[in-house]
């Protein structure tokens, strides 16, 4: 995992699991609102796009959101955590800082999408293999553009689940606050805070750092 250090600022915004599909007006309007009123930082916790990989077809499909995020990155700091639907995309966002996880040692915060911390070993090995641009290009080449021509379109039409059952999650990290997405439903399990999916709830979060750390939930309208 690529882990980078960051200092989370009071008032930073957290958005996760938007699963943006072409011309999703709710998310586009949220980005426009942030452009008009930039927060001090924005953390995208993965799966912001329903599918975005380093291929021209997917760039064009997601172009409206990509352009707004790039416009926003000129106005505020953006930190983007790779999800299981959006990775190897650094070239599309030249001013954005990417990682598998960010850590704030001062405030004892660990941020990740969540899948690489909670899924089984097989999943983590598969992710290590597939989250590689050479692997993606090679697979596309040997399948005669099958990935580009068929699989991408099929994945873009895949339904998004909003009713994940979360019973118990253990993430053994030496931090007081572990913040993840991935599971789409808001839940607190010990020191793990799972933020709800923007797609499912239309919620995003603002961190309030004082003597304690709290997250204010903002509903952008269902």
What percent of the chain has a predicted confidence (pLDDT) above 70? Answer: 85
| Res 60: pLDDT | 93
CA distance 60 to 120: 33
**β-sheet bridge partners, residue 193:** 179, 188
Q: Nearest to residue 96, comparing CAs of 72, 126, 127, 132? A: 72
Note whether 205 and 195 are within 8 A (CB). yes
- The secondary structure of residue 151, as a DSSP letter, is I
Q: Residue 169: is its pLDDT beyond 90?
A: no
| Res 151: pLDDT | 66
For all residues of the chain together, what is the average pLDDT? 88
| Res 144: pLDDT | 52
The mean per-residue pLDDT over the stretch 37-50 comes to 97
Q: Where are the domains of the chain?
A: 3-219
CA distance 156 to 192: 30
Q: Nearest to residue 39, comparing CAs of 66, 78, 11? A: 11
Q: Residue 134: is its pLDDT beyond 80?
A: no
* Confidence bin at 143 (pLDDT 50/70/90): low
The mean per-residue pLDDT over the stretch 58-75 comes to 96
Q: Residue 68: is its pLDDT beyond 70?
A: yes
In angstroms, the Cα distances linking 182 to 59, 84, 86 are: 22, 9, 12
Q: How far is CA 186 from the centre of its chain?
A: 15
Q: Nearest to residue 210, comparing CAs of 5, 6, 9? A: 9
131 or 115: which leads in pLDDT: 115
CATH class of 3-219: alpha beta
Cβ partners under 8 Å of residue 168, min gap 6: 189
17 or 57: which leads in pLDDT: 17
CA distance 208 to 222: 24
Note whether 68 and 28 are within 8 A (CB). yes
Q: Residue 145: is its pLDDT beyond 70?
A: no
């Amino acid at each position: 995992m690529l882990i980078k250090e960051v200092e989370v600022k009071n008032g930073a915004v957290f958005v996760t699991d938007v699963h943006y599909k072409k011309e999703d007006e709710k998310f586009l309007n949220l980005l426009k609102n942030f452009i008009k009123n930039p927060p001090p930082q924005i953390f995208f916790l993965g799966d912001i796009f329903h599918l975005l990989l380093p291929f021209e077809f997917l760039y064009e499909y997601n172009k409206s959101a990509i352009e707004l995020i790039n416009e926003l990155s000129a106005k505020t700091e953006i930190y983007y955590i790779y999800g299981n639907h959006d990775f190897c995309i650094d070239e599309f966002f030249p001013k954005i800082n990417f990682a598998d996880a960010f850590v704030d040692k001062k405030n004892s915060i660990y941020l990740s999408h969540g899948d690489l911390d909670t899924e089984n070993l097989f999943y983590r090995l598969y992710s290590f293999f597939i989250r590689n641009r050479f692997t993606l290009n090679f697979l596309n080449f040997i399948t005669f553009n099958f990935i580009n021509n068929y699989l991408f379109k099929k994945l873009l039409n895949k339904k998004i689940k909003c009713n994940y059952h979360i019973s118990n999650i253990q993430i053994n990290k030496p931090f007081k606050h572990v913040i993840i997405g991935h599971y789409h439903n808001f839940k607190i399990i010990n020191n793990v805070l799972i933020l709800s999916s923007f797609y499912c709830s239309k919620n995003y979060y603002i961190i309030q750092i004082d003597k304690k750390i709290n997250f204010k939930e903002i509903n952008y309208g269902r």
